[in-house]
């Protein structure tokens, strides 16, 4: 009998021990939460400031939602979708991005009947069976903004401006690469032109690029294969195919960006891979004066004016959206040395001696927590010395010490960690007293 061969990468087979993570997946540990919280806080605040409302979308959707919108010929759908049949036989997929879902939700909840544009934001994990490397994972988080129900170019510019503010607040210098794809027809005509241009050089193309030529010719423009940079120089540029309306639209976006002092570069070869884009498309990258993680984009977006009608919604619903990759933002911040305290600030540390003190300690701890005083403990430790060391390590200003005697007397010892001075106080009054002392 012929031996069964597995088409799995040997690296992958080796790593399928159950006590290890799946390749391309990560745990985000407590030490990293401060930086994650900071990024999410800025994203949430800016979204709200610009009247975007939060939407929480499911991770699983019908598979054909992604196939029909992102496009069957794209890598995301063809190679990277985590898709399976569920127990009921439905073909489902884990979302590789959220724009298609947003469009679905907009139609499904009749948001067309609300004042337009409807502005939505999300923050959540996406899944793509990508080749893992620095800044590229199979589960990654995106902050996304989508404005549906208007094709006004001011929305394009405002979206870019919000993202620019986001990076500025986080301490990163970025540049937007920007282009216009025109209408669906423009794109179709342009693709034909592109194919006939690259066909002349078919022999020079790599195998990968030959495939792109037949399957997804626009991707040729992103190609990093050898020799492509030279071939691209004389390739037709989509800007020459733009219809007048799209040209006007694009000019306005640029004018608004100039006005708002956003750093951008026109990139005639930026096309973005997905089928649903039209008119404005952009990507955001680190400016050259910031250390670059890899040459990867931190985020990207564009218009998808035809997506809603394509999904069965009403005509003439223009829309624009963008998504920022959170892991890449954090990586860039770390590379630039933008760090955050690893632990929360602790003002008070509770120390106990003996079982009765521990039991009473649970209640004392609760009183402080309710009064919003930041307090920590080490109930698992026995010796006072070890507990005071822990208090010191966490930077507590005050240590509370409760022993057998204090429990009986209903008192507690308050120790100033700097001077070492101690005072015995009534346990019922300790919260107020400590609060006052901390305010000094």
Query: From the CB of 80, what's the least distance to ligand AMP, in Å?
Result: 8
Question: Cβ distance 361 to 378 under 8 Å?
Answer: no
Residue with smaller CB distance to ligand AMP, 296 or 310 = 296
Query: From the CB of 153, what's the least distance to ligand AMP, in Å?
Result: 21
Helix (H, G, I), strand (E, B) or coil at 211: helix
Residue with smaller CB distance to ligand AMP, 63 or 272 = 272
Query: From the CB of 248, what's the least distance to ligand AMP, in Å?
Result: 26
Query: From the CB of 282, what's the least distance to ligand AMP, in Å?
Result: 10
- Alpha-carbon distance of 429 to 295, in angstroms, equals 59
Question: Cβ distance 399 to 438 under 8 Å?
Answer: no
Residue with smaller CB distance to ligand AMP, 26 or 204 = 26
- Alpha-carbon distance of 352 to 357, in angstroms, equals 6
Helix (H, G, I), strand (E, B) or coil at 228: helix
Residue 38 is inside which H or E element, if any? Answer: helix 30-49
Question: Cβ distance 110 to 132 under 8 Å?
Answer: no
Query: From the CB of 123, what's the least distance to ligand AMP, in Å?
Result: 12
Query: From the CB of 21, what's the least distance to ligand AMP, in Å?
Result: 15
Residue with smaller CB distance to ligand AMP, 222 or 367 = 222
Residue 47 is inside which H or E element, if any? Answer: helix 30-49
Interface contacts to ligand AMP, rule CB under 6 A: 97, 128, 130, 135-137, 140, 142, 297-300, 323, 325, 327-328
Question: Cβ distance 130 to 137 under 8 Å?
Answer: yes
The residues, any chain, with a CB within 8 Å of residue 43's CB and separated by 6 or more, are: 121, 123, 143, 166, 324
Q: How far lies 363's CA from each of 131, 324, 380, 404, 413, in Å?
A: 51, 44, 16, 15, 16
Tokens of 274: 């997905």
Residue with smaller CB distance to ligand AMP, 253 or 323 = 323
Residue 285 is inside which H or E element, if any? Answer: strand 278-286
Tokens of 44: 């949430």
Query: From the CB of 411, what's the least distance to ligand AMP, in Å?
Result: 56
Residue with smaller CB distance to ligand AMP, 70 or 412 = 70
Q: Using CB positions, name the residue nearest to ligand AMP.
A: 325
Residue with smaller CB distance to ligand AMP, 217 or 325 = 325
Question: Cβ distance 409 to 360 under 8 Å?
Answer: no
The H-assigned helical ranges of 122-183 are 153-170
Query: From the CB of 277, what's the least distance to ligand AMP, in Å?
Result: 10
Residue with smaller CB distance to ligand AMP, 55 or 298 = 298
Which of 41, 43, 47, 46 minimizes the C-alpha distance to 119? 47
Question: Cβ distance 256 to 310 under 8 Å?
Answer: no
Residue with smaller CB distance to ligand AMP, 142 or 216 = 142
Query: From the CB of 273, what's the least distance to ligand AMP, in Å?
Result: 7
């Amino acid at each position: 009998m012929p031996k069964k061969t597995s088409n799995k990468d040997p690296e992958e087979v080796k790593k399928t021990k159950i006590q290890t993570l799946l390749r391309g997946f990560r745990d985000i540990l407590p030490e990293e939460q401060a930086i994650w919280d900071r990024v999410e806080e800025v994203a949430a605040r800016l979204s709200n400031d610009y009247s975007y409302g939060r939407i929480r979308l499911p991770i699983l959707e019908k598979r054909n939602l992604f196939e029909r919108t992102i496009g069957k010929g794209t890598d995301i759908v063809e190679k990277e979708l985590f898709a399976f049949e569920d127990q009921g036989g439905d073909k489902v997929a884990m979302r590789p991005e959220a724009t298609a879902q947003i469009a679905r939700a907009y139609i499904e909840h009749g948001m067309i009947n609300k004042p337009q544009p409807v502005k939505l934001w999300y923050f959540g994990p996406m899944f793509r069976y990508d080749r893992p490397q620095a800044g590229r994972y199979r589960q990654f988080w995106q902050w996304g903004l989508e404005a549906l129900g208007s094709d006004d170019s001011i929305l394009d510019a405002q979206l870019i401006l919000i993202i620019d503010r986001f990076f500025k607040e986080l301490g990163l210098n970025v540049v937007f690469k920007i282009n216009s794809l025109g209408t669906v027809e423009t794109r179709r005509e342009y693709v034909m032109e592109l194919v006939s241009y690259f066909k002349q050089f078919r022999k020079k193309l790599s195998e990968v690029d030959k495939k792109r030529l037949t399957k997804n010719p626009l991707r040729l423009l992103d190609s990093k294969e050898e020799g492509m940079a030279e071939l691209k120089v004389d390739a037709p540029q989509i800007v020459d195919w733009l219809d007048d309306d799209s040209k006007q639209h694009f000019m306005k976006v640029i004018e608004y960006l100039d006005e708002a002092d956003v750093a951008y570069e026109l990139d005639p070869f930026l096309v973005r891979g997905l089928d649903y884009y039209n008119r404005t498309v952009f990507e955001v990258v680190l400016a050259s004066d910031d250390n670059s993680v890899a040459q990867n984009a931190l985020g990207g977006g564009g218009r998808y004016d035809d997506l809603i009608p394509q999904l069965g919604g009403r005509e003439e619903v223009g829309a624009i959206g963008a998504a920022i990759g959170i892991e890449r933002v954090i990586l860039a911040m770390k590379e630039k040395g933008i760090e955050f305290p690893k632990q929360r600030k602790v003002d008070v540390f509770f120390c106990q001696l003996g079982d009765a003190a521990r039991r009473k300690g649970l209640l004392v701890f609760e009183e402080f927590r309710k009064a919003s005083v930041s307090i920590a403990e080490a109930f698992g430790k026995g010796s006072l010395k070890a507990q005071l060391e822990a208090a010191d390590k966490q930077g507590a200003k005050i240590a509370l010490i409760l022993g057998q005697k204090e429990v009986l007397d209903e008192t507690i010892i308050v120790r100033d960690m700097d001077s070492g001075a101690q005072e015995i106080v009534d346990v019922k009054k300790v919260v107020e007293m400590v609060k006052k002392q901390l305010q000094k």
